[in-house]
Amino acid sequence: MKKQVYLFEISDITENQVKLPYSTGLIWGQCILDNTIKSNYELGGWIYYRDEIDKIMNKIENPSVVGFSNFVWNTHINYKLAKKIKERYPNCLIVFGGQGTPKSDKVFNFFIEHPYVDITVHGEGEISFKEILLENLKDTSNFKNIPGITINGDKFITTSSRPRIKDIDSMPSPYLDGLFDSLIKIKDHNYDFEACIESVRGCPYQCTFCEIGDKYFQKLTKQSNEKIFKELDWISKNKLLFFYNADSNFGLFPEHLDQVRYMTDLKKKTGYPDNIRIDWAKSRADKVVELAKLLTKAKMMKGITIALQSRNPEVLKAVKRKNVDDGKLKEFFDLYKDENLVSYVEIILGLPMETVESFKDGIFQLLDLGYNDYVDIHPLTALPNTPFFDAEYIKEYDIDIVETTPAFYHHENADLLKNESEYMVVGSKTMTREQYIEASVWKWLFMFGYSLGHLKYISRFIKTVKKVSYKEFYEKFYTYMVDNPNSFMGKQYLITKNTLGKVLRKETLWGRAVDLTGNFYWNFEEATALEVALNRDEFFDSVREFLNQFNLSETVKNDIIEFQSSIIKNPLEKYPMMKRFDYNIKDVLFNNKKLTNSGYNYQFDSENYKNDVREWGTKAIWWGRRNKGFETVVYEK
């Protein structure tokens, strides 16, 4: 009878989609190339989506070896499962790997806290796990000769470092060797699958907040177009709508253009894959235009990433990051605009040396450069294998880290996340925890007001007509919310701030649930957008009161409020809709024309959501946030 191997790569179910277990697929595919393993082991089960602990345990029977792919989003459920497995099957060998598993120089406390783990794998795991299975077949196993692992026991033993795999193109693919065929055939759920491919492994940068910023991953290894094309064929054949390319710098190599041409042709012929998520090449924004144009034409992407992370030179120095200068950045913005390409800027809140003012000013600088697309601001996770868990780095920048629930949103099974944890950076020597909450409220205001568009055109109009800077406008609006707690936006401000406090105390999940959308947690800015859709008159009453300080005539004020209200899609409206304006608001905003009063008719068009707030929130605000999917199309009639 063959020994049973169980593999765990647990992901969360998001909008009825679950990830295929790509990492463990690579590992098991390598293992079964070995005839000794094929003769002595079989895969007893593959656990790849979050469920109740007892339901998962019922799927496990007499395991010989259990492998856990450990990441920040699944560590706690992995620990609970591993502990229960060891208690029920004490002779089972439990192996942990993945980027949530500490590196060799940080692993000893891990074993003290998790004594039920027998071996940890460091770095790439395909060869290491295969060798562990082979050694486990011996009457007296001795794992000490296997490179790249740490062994639990009377003494912790870390073996020599395992060299990187030089030729990942020759490694098996779970798409091409039939492993994922079996998952598709026998799936025990109604969720749709999403895929991952890896055109390039590694990253040349050393950003301190990223786990692949380690020197171990600096050398890049590529897969051939022939192999990538076959994997894309599999995705198309099996009608997977979405896949993620796990390449940290897509567009860096000429082969990427061939891959884009191939996937867009596939979509044209078959309809699949429909969409892709890409991490674009850093500091090479002008090199990815052709790729982005093809993907945009095929409606396969949500925008080009411009990963800045911070605008503060002191911050960039602290995290070993270098951005392009403002002149080059402005060129990129203008280039994308000229090519009708949507982009989105990524910023991280919580990096060392950042202050509330430098964080705010970094956003205002982007707006002053004429940036008109999405600014995506992320909280900072302290990943276990980064300098944010190094004592010297923590001491140098006085890093403040707290344990919260995972900083993820849009989960169908939100209650299952309450016992998971994530370590978040919430302060440093230049930003107290209270200031971090203040900056987080500013993050919410920027993303709701500008990135999701709800104050965007009013602020642009005030800047154009009244010569009021974006900084002055949004600082005045922030003050208005604080000073008017009974107004709609005053209430939203307090809810957001108070909920953030609860999040940092691990009293609640990140984000907010909203009435009419069930136990479904949205980003803070998305939640406010949904509240506006349901309470639009109350929101614009707040805005109207705020605008009184800018000395606008009632007619002008009515026009800009009506335009702002109409340009954001609303699930309760029926489109197309025609609106009469006294002033040429559209020309002022989009063509830099002077404000004139001659009478104008604007038609606002959108798909109709027929009062379905959840569908609108999902498609327009969540999925559409990076490519202005929340905006109507405006025509002058």
Q: Per-residue pLDDT tens for 326-337?
A: 778 888 888 888
Examine the pLDDT at 520 and tell me if it is beyond 90: no
Pick from 15-19, 47-51, 238-242, 548-552: least confident: 15-19
Average pLDDT rounded to a whole number, residues 69-81: 92
Average pLDDT rounded to a whole number, residues 427-436: 97
Examine the pLDDT at 12 and tell me if it is beyond 90: no
Average pLDDT rounded to a whole number, residues 494-512: 94
600 three-state secondary structure: strand
Q: How confident is the model at residue 205 (pLDDT cuts 50, 70, 90)?
A: confident
b vs e for 540-554, b when ≥16 Cβ sit within 10 Å of the residue's Cβ?
bebbeebbeebebee
Q: What are the start-end ranges of the H helices in 42-95?
A: 53-57, 75-88
* pLDDT value of position 109: 87
For all residues of the chain together, what is the average pLDDT?
93
- Of the candidates 485, 409, 473, the one whose C-alpha atom is nearest the C-alpha of residue 446 is 473
* pLDDT value of position 412: 66
What is the C-alpha end-to-end distance of the chain, expressed in Å? 77
Q: Does the bond joining 576 to the residue before it have cis omega, within 30 degrees of 0?
A: yes
* pLDDT value of position 420: 82
Examine the pLDDT at 605 and tell me if it is beyond 90: yes
* pLDDT value of position 443: 98
* pLDDT value of position 218: 81
* pLDDT value of position 285: 64
Percent of the chain scoring above 70 in pLDDT = 99
Examine the pLDDT at 280 and tell me if it is beyond 90: no
- The 10s digit of each residue's pLDDT in 172-189 is 999 999 999 989 888 778
Sort 16 into a burial class: Cβ within 10 Å, 0-12 / 13-18 / 19+.
Answer: exposed
* Best-predicted range by mean pLDDT (203-212, 368-377, 465-474): 465-474
CB 122 within 8 A of CB 162: yes
- The 10s digit of each residue's pLDDT in 18-70 is 999 999 999 999 999 999 999 999 999 999 999 999 999 999 999 999 999 99
Sort 490 into a burial class: Cβ within 10 Å, 0-12 / 13-18 / 19+.
Answer: middle
Q: How confident is the model at residue 409 (pLDDT cuts 50, 70, 90)?
A: confident
Q: Hey, which residues does 563 pair with through a beta bridge?
A: none
* pLDDT value of position 284: 65
Average pLDDT rounded to a whole number, residues 548-553: 95
Examine the pLDDT at 452 and tell me if it is beyond 70: yes
Examine the pLDDT at 490 and tell me if it is beyond 80: yes
CB atoms within 10 A of CB 28: 25
Q: DSSP string covering 367-410, please? A: HHTT--SEEEEEEPB--TTSGGG-HHHHHHHT-EEEEES-S---
* pLDDT value of position 248: 86
CB 118 within 8 A of CB 152: yes
b vs e for 355-392, b when ≥16 Cβ sit within 10 Å of the residue's Cβ?
bbebbbebbbebbeeebbbbbbbebbbbbbbbbbbeee
Six token digits for residue 609: 């959501």
Which DSSP category does 518 fall into?
-
* pLDDT value of position 3: 95
Average pLDDT rounded to a whole number, residues 404-416: 80
Q: How confident is the model at residue 441 (pLDDT cuts 50, 70, 90)?
A: very high
Average pLDDT rounded to a whole number, residues 370-381: 94
For 225, left (φ over 0), alpha (ψ -120 to 50), or beta?
alpha
Examine the pLDDT at 430 and tell me if it is beyond 90: yes
Tell me the CA distances in angstroms from 543 to 332, 369, 604, one per residue in order.
Answer: 33, 26, 21
Tell me the CA distances in angstroms from 317 to 206, 208, 329, 353, one per residue in order.
Answer: 11, 10, 19, 9
Strand ranges inside 40-191, DSSP E? 41-49, 63-69, 93-97, 119-121, 149-151, 157-158
- The 10s digit of each residue's pLDDT in 522-532 is 999 999 999 99
* pLDDT value of position 294: 94
527 three-state secondary structure: helix
Average pLDDT rounded to a whole number, residues 356-384: 94
* pLDDT value of position 67: 98
Average pLDDT rounded to a whole number, residues 473-497: 97
Whole-structure pTM value: 0.89
* pLDDT value of position 329: 87
* pLDDT value of position 106: 82
Average pLDDT rounded to a whole number, residues 409-431: 85
Percent of the chain scoring above 90 in pLDDT = 76
Average pLDDT rounded to a whole number, residues 89-96: 97
Average pLDDT rounded to a whole number, residues 216-236: 93
Q: How confident is the model at residue 107 (pLDDT cuts 50, 70, 90)?
A: confident
Pick from 87-101, 329-343, 359-373, 554-568: least confident: 329-343
* pLDDT value of position 42: 96
CB atoms within 10 A of CB 57: 15
